[in-house]
Amino acid sequence: MRNGGKDMSKVKVAPSILSADFAKMAEAVQNLDKWHADVIHCDVMDGVFVPNITFGMDMIKALRKYTNGILDVHLMIIKPEKYIPQFIAAGADVITFHPDASDNVAGALKTIKDAGKKCGLVLNPDKPLSMIEPYLDIIDVVIIMGVYAGFGGQSFIPETLDKVRECKKLIGDRNIEIEMDGGASPKNFKELKEAGTDIIVAGSAVFKAEDPAAVIEQIHNV
């Protein structure tokens, strides 16, 4: 779906492996391929920018061996520009980060693009769209957080739907996708699509479901 047009094609699904069994990560990404997930969302947290620690570039490198799927690496770390080259080398296909965590947003985005990867910026619920506006001609994706970054399984903040609508207008006819991360559930899949979301990150909604493949299909068909 192009944000500037009227195309109402399928929403992409990006299950977050943060909600998978960490002892069975290889199996988890292989299952995502079988379940027809569009993107594999990887939440990297440093315990500083956010109050939680998950995994780093070694996990991305390990997962790369088990899937040809798109590895969408969301960096929730301070000074992401220091580590982006390592995540590129590990096999990330898309790298996004929070502009308020970086000392050199433009430089970090250029590093990603120069490596032939897709890049994007992420906004927590309290961060304004003006933070991404200077970079709209560079980025490929905007992630709007539906919860505050740091932990999986949080409740969705409904007001973030308005930010998606505003972001869609701001993007105009640029080829930029809007990704909603956090709090997605069968209760709001339709609302997320109608607001203008192109990619839904679904962690608990997929991995905690009795039939994960059916949840992914449900999002595709919403």
| CATH of region 12-220, choose from 3.50.50.60, 3.40.50.720, 3.30.1330.40, 3.20.20.70 | 3.20.20.70
The total of other beta-carbon atoms located within 10 Å of residue 45's CB is 21
Per-residue model confidence as pLDDT tens digits over 188-218: 999 999 999 999 999 989 999 999 999 999 9
Measured between alpha carbons, how far is 72 from 25 in angstroms, rounded to an integer? 15
Banded pLDDT at 155 (limits 50, 70, 90): confident
pLDDT one-digit tens code per residue, 73-132:
999 999 999 999 999 999 999 999 999 999 999 999 999 999 999 999 999 999 999 999
Per-domain boundaries in the chain? 12-220
Q: Which residues are catalytic?
A: 43, 181
CB 164 within 8 A of CB 176: no
Give the angle 198-112-67 at the CA atoms, nearest 5°: 65
Q: What is the pTM of this model?
A: 0.94
- Mean pLDDT on 36-55: 96
Quote the tokens at residue 194.
Answer: 């109608």
